[in-house]
Amino acid sequence: GSGGFRKRKHDNFPHGQRREEKENVNPSSPLMTSFKSFQLELDSRHDKYERLVKLSRDITIESKRTIFLLHRFTSAPNGEEILNESEVKLDAVRRKIKQVAQELIGEDMYQFHRAISPGLQEYVEAVSFQYFIKTRSLISVEEINKQLIFTAEDREETTNKTSDSHEKQPHTWSLKVTPVDYLLGVADLTGELMRLCISSVGNGDIDTPFELSQFLRQIYDGFTFIGNTGPYEVSKKLYTLKQSLAKVENACYTLKVRGSEIPKHMLADVFSTKTELIDQDEGLP
């Protein structure tokens, strides 16, 4: 049958000729020369991408730690200290972002956007959380970008990394957080604010939840205003945002209703049971 034929065909294949043909490929033909240059180009592009992914991961981790630190703010008496510490941490994150900006000198940022986007979103989340704790308002995307303009003053890093290839570049770099990264970061922020709300009740703070519900409602209204103008990821976050808002609103409701009946010192107990419930169905780490 045809199977046997195929097999025979394979056995009879003139291997000698085949090998000869492969050797016939002249390693210095125009085609091979151009493919060698393609190899260089692709390799350097992939290397850069990998470096950016690594930086992005570092940025994510440091930003997450900053957020954890800031959650301690409400419960601790030494608020000033924690804020200062978070500022130090965020400065470290910004130094990483500076490295990202240096990698992107002369490149089209969007070519590597997928590598750095997760880190930038996490940074937006951390920075806006800190800003909220300090000022009780939402940081604007312009404000964030203002902090991401770097100059070559601190030489220790710039010399070893960029001197070889970018010697004559202007000595300021900037990185712009795109509107979409900003929106996704802010959407994540609302989750943190929800946690902040619940834990502040636990600490017997009755005012913060109401303030937060007001603030979250503004953000929610903002997101509904954008609606489906934005990309798919933004609309996906809208669902989680709605859940966070509902939790905060319910918390406020309970405070209002029960608060008039229960003595203040017992409120925390009422809420701690409530908190467990919320944590359970959220399933967050």
Partner 1 sequence: MSVSDMFAALQGALGQDQDIREEIRKVVQALEQTAREMLTLLQGVHQGPGFQHIPKKCQKAREHFSTVRTQMESLKTKFPADQYYRFHEHWRFVLQRLVFLAAFVVYLESETLVTREAVAEILGIEADRERGFHLDIEDYLSGVLTLASELARLAVNSVTAGDYSRPLRISAFINELDSGFRLLNLKNDSLRKRYDGLKYDVKKIEEVVYDLSIRGLNKEATAGAGGEK
Known binding-site residue numbers:
125, 192
Smallest separation, CB 215 to partner 1 (Å) = 8
Number of residues that bind partner 1 (CB under 8 A): 47
The least distance separating partner 1 from the CB of residue 123, rounded to whole angstroms, comes to 18
**Closest CB to partner 1 among 25 and 284?**
25
Give yes or no for a contact between 193 and 67, defined as CB atoms under 8 angstroms apart.
no
Q: How far is the CB of 207 from partner 1 (least distance, A)?
A: 19
Note whether 135 binds partner 1 by CB under 8 A.
no
How buried is residue 126: exposed, middle or buried, by Cβ count under 10 Å (0-12/13-18/19+)?
buried
- CB closer to partner 1 out of 219 and 245: 219
Provide, rounded to whole angstroms, the least separation between the CB of residue 178 and partner 1: 9
Which span (86-94, 102-110, 205-213, 256-264) binds partner 1, by CB under 8 A?
A: 102-110
36 contributes a contact to partner 1 by CB under 8 A: yes
Residue 204 lies near partner 1 (rule: CB under 8 A) = no
What is the nearest approach in angstroms of partner 1 to the Cβ of residue 220?
A: 10
Residue 34 touching partner 1 (CB under 8 A): yes
Report the C-alpha dihedral over residues 123, 128, 133, 134, rounded to 10 degrees: 100
Question: How would you classify residue 182: left for phi > 0, otherwise alpha for psi between -120 and 50, otherwise beta?
Answer: alpha
CB closer to partner 1, 39 vs 203: 39
Q: Judged by CB under 8 A, which of 230, 233, 242, 270 binds partner 1? A: 230
What interhelical angle do 113-135 and 179-202 show, nearest 10?
A: 40
Based on the shown chain and the rule CB under 8 A, indicate whether residue 218 belongs to the binding site for partner 1: yes
- Distances in Å between the alpha carbon of 4 and those of 1, 11, 249, 271? 6, 11, 75, 78
- Binding mask of the shown chain, residues 139 to 168, with x at each position contacting partner 1 by CB under 8 A: -xx---------------------------
Asked if 155 and 216 touch (Cβ cutoff 8 Å), the reply is no
Cβ atoms 184, 234 nearer than 8 A: yes
Considering the complex, state which of residue 17 and residue 273 has its C-beta at the smaller distance from partner 1: 17
- For the bound state, the minimum distance from the C-beta of residue 264 to partner 1, rounded and expressed in Å, comes to 31
Rounded distance, CA 45 to CA 39, Å?
Answer: 10
- The first and second tokens of residue 249, run together, are 């609103």
How far is it, in rounded angstroms, from Cα 93 to Cα 89? 6
List, in sequence order, every residue forming a beta bridge with 150; answer none if it has no partner: 173
Q: Which of 134, 131, 139, 130 is nearest to 67 (CA)?
A: 130
Judged by the rule CB under 8 A, the positions of this chain that interact with partner 1 are 9, 12-14, 17-18, 21-22, 24-25, 29-32, 34-36, 38-39, 41-43, 45-46, 108-111, 113, 137-138, 140-141, 179-180, 182-183, 215, 218-219, 221-223, 225-226, 229-230
